[in-house]
Amino acid sequence: MRKQAPKQRGRKIAKRSRKRSGGALKRRRSAAPSLAPQCFEALRSACAAATRRALHAGSAFAALALAIGASQAWAQAPSADRGSNADAAVMDRTPAGYAAKGVPLGAFRVFPAFTAEVSTIDNVFATDGNEQSDIVYTARPSVEVRSNWSRHSLTFNADLARSFHVDFPKDDITAAQLGVNGALDVRYGTRIGGAAQWRTGAEGRGSPNSPATAIKPIEFEGARVSAFATQTFNRVRVSLQASRDELDFEDGLSSTGVVIDQDDRDRTETAGSARVEVGVTPAIAVLAEVRLGQRDYDMRPANPALVRDSNGRAYLVGVNFDVTRLIRGQVAAGYFSQDYDAQSADSEGLAIDTSFEWFPTRLTTVTVNANRRSDDSGVPGAASILLTSAGVRADHELRRNIVISAGVNSDRREFRGVDREDEVWSGQLSARWQLNPRVALSGGYTHERQDSSGTARDRDFTVNRAFAALTLRL
């Protein structure tokens, strides 16, 4: 075969190159018109999916919060996707690489844990003078079983806490809790669920209802069932909740061997609420809520003036908000009344239910809360307590696995039926260090002070407590 001249070969190679380049250019030009709609459609679908997830997460968040008695607003739906650590409150974040792994169990995952704690208390009996100090060791095993379903949820949990006093073993306490809660996504915008809980424990020595003469803390047993439903209609969300609690208190014993009867405190509490929230802007919603409740005591005293059965109601209006991811929460106020069969114990006035979180930086969360309501009293002759409480707490991330916290709280208790008023102040300092997914260290200090006044005044006391704890989990 005769060889081609170099010049001819060069012209043919250039020609083939131009053909390939032209073909590729034609393919790119032909692909461009079809690729642009595909990209636009993919972007539109992604935005729509993100919007659906945000709204769905907002509904789920409101339902879960309602189930535990602290529902959030529809206007917080844009921020309800705060499941990411960047947007969650400091104490709600799980640092990357530090989350508990758990143990798989079919469609569930099991999370066992154990906490060992040692604490020192300078006033074990919360007395005014002649304070007694002690060292307390506490063991807390617990387990939580969570479903890993994509839509619905079901959780089982069990906790046990046993304390051991070195010098005063009569104050040893065993507390336990069993619970289950779940939620069902009926359809988009509709969510229902419920919870059941059994618990046993003991009142603290500083409790306003605890008899000061009892030689050991008053023990109690309780059971609770609750149900909730939420429905979202465009900018309107309706939330319903109902609950029933049963409480049974054990009798106490004085140092002289006299039985301190607590049967008159055993009761059943039934409550329900209806809440409507209307989104004004993506960041603000107005709300209106009605709460109803009934308290029925197992024993009915022969003296009508000592009957504690009552019916209560509260009407609240307010707003909740999530402004530029800097501050979020709820501010609500209204009117409450608690009508007792013994009319001298009736209580009514301004109702307050406010709580919000402020994020001055991404590493700091400041939580503020205020509440005013009527509560039952275990003090003889006093059927109810008008309770006004407020508090502020700051949590800060020193490092992603080290958090320090500080807070202060104030309670004012006005007793109906007796001349008594208590002012209680408390402060807390604490730190948490997550060493790895399985081990965490924590420690802290608390200070509590009570000042009581009136002809039926209680004791004044201060209690200081310091603790250190080790937590192990899988």
Predicted local confidence at residue 251, as pLDDT = 92
**For the residues 359-388, what does the mean pLDDT come to?**
89
pLDDT band at residue 67 under the 50/70/90 scheme: very low
CA 458/CA 470 separation, integer angstroms: 36
Both tokens of residue 142? 């617990």
Decide which of 261 and 304 is more confident. Answer: 261
Strand ranges in 188-266 using DSSP code E only, listed in sequence order: 190-202, 219-233, 236-249, 252-253, 259-260
Residues 6 or more apart in contact with residue 409 via CB below 8 angstroms: 389, 390, 391, 425, 426, 427
226 near 241, Cβ under 8 Å? yes
State how far the alpha carbon of 103 is from the alpha carbons of 13, 115, 417, in Å. 66, 18, 54
Both tokens of residue 462? 């201060």
Of the ranges 154-158, 188-192, 348-352, 413-417, which one carries the lowest mean pLDDT score? 413-417
**For the residues 280-305, what does the mean pLDDT come to?**
88
Of the ranges 58-72, 77-91, 108-122, 300-314, which one carries the lowest mean pLDDT score? 58-72
| DSSP letters for 206-228 | T-TTS-TTBSSPPEEEEEEEEEE
Q: List Cβ<8 Å contacts ≥24 apart for 402-405.
A: 402/431, 402/432, 402/433, 402/434, 403/90, 403/91, 403/431, 403/432, 404/429, 404/430, 404/431, 405/91, 405/429, 405/430, 405/431, 405/432, 405/444
DSSP state of 4: P
336 near 305, Cβ under 8 Å? no
CA 134/CA 127 separation, integer angstroms: 14
Predicted local confidence at residue 39, as pLDDT = 40
CA 291/CA 274 separation, integer angstroms: 7
Of the ranges 94-98, 445-449, 451-455, which one carries the lowest mean pLDDT score? 94-98
Predicted local confidence at residue 85, as pLDDT = 54
First to last CA, the chain: 79
150 near 106, Cβ under 8 Å? no
311 near 341, Cβ under 8 Å? no
Predicted local confidence at residue 71, as pLDDT = 36
CA 209/CA 186 separation, integer angstroms: 43
Domain limits of the chain? 49-473
Predicted local confidence at residue 378, as pLDDT = 76
Predicted local confidence at residue 343, as pLDDT = 61
311 near 288, Cβ under 8 Å? no
Predicted local confidence at residue 86, as pLDDT = 57
Give the H/E segment covering residue 32. Answer: helix 6-67
Residue 164 identity (one-letter amino acid):
F
Q: Is the pLDDT at 2 greater than 50, yes or no?
A: no
pLDDT in tens, 25-58: 344 344 333 433 444 344 445 444 444 443 343 4
Both tokens of residue 90? 């400091």
Decide which of 147 and 60 is more confident. Answer: 147
CA 312/CA 249 separation, integer angstroms: 23
Predicted local confidence at residue 301, as pLDDT = 76
CATH 2.60.120 fits 49-473, yes or no: no
Decide which of 46 and 402 is more confident. Answer: 402
Decide which of 61 and 131 is more confident. Answer: 131
pLDDT in tens, 68-110: 333 333 333 333 334 445 578 999 888 888 999 999 999 999 9
pLDDT band at residue 324 under the 50/70/90 scheme: confident
What percent of the chain lies above the pLDDT cut of 90? 61
Predicted local confidence at residue 96, as pLDDT = 84
The 3-state secondary structure of 289-301 reads EEEEEEEEECCCC
Q: Is the pLDDT at 19 greater than 60, yes or no?
A: no
- Looking at every residue in the chain, the average pLDDT score rounds to 83
Q: Is the pLDDT at 330 greater than 50, yes or no?
A: yes
| DSSP letters for 50-106 | HHHHHHHHHHHHHHHHHHTT----GGGGGGTTTTSTTTS-GGG---TT-S---EEET
pLDDT in tens, 181-223: 999 999 888 999 999 999 999 999 888 888 888 899 999 999 9
